[in-house]
Amino acid sequence: MDAHLIYTTHAHLKTLAKWSEWIYCGVGADIKTDVINKIINEYFEDSTLYFVTDRKESGQINKEDILQRINKEIEQKELFLWDINLKKIIEFNRIGVMRKGLISTSV
């Protein structure tokens, strides 16, 4: 998928998610990489995820590259991680909090 399509799909689907409570993950020198890494690895099974920031820079990312990118960009904008099936999401807010979301599929 191209960046624009990923972002547009994300913008619609995130409104359908059932969200957890916010968890403090820090920013800058106070970033809790161990907390972020643990939650990402426990929540997402795939090795490739969608990293969503805006219409031009959203795309696929390997799990091992995520922490570096989050650390670099978390203070500038909201960041979102999606699984490849677009059912699970993690949102990172630039104030240093994160939450998990799940899209329920109803039959």
pLDDT at 64: 92
Q: Pairing relation of β-strands 79-82 and 88-93?
A: antiparallel
**Is there a domain that residue 75 lies in?**
yes
- Look up the domain containing 21 and give its range: 3-101
pLDDT at 106 over 70: no
Considering the domain boundaries, does residue 17 fall inside one? yes
Number of domains in the chain: 1
Stretch (H or E) spanning 24: strand 23-24
pLDDT tens readout for residues 28-50:
899 999 999 999 999 999 999 99
Comparing CA positions, the residue from 57, 45, 29 lying closest to residue 87 is 45
Domain membership of residue 29 (yes or no) is: yes
pLDDT tens-digit map of 53-86: 999 999 999 999 999 999 999 999 999 999 999 9
User: Could you tell me which residues come within 8 angstroms of residue 5 by beta carbon, excluding any fewer than 6 positions away?
Assistant: none
Instruction: Tell me whether residue 106 is in a domain.
Output: no
Alpha carbon of residue 39 to chain centroid:
11
Quick check: pTM over 0.95?
no
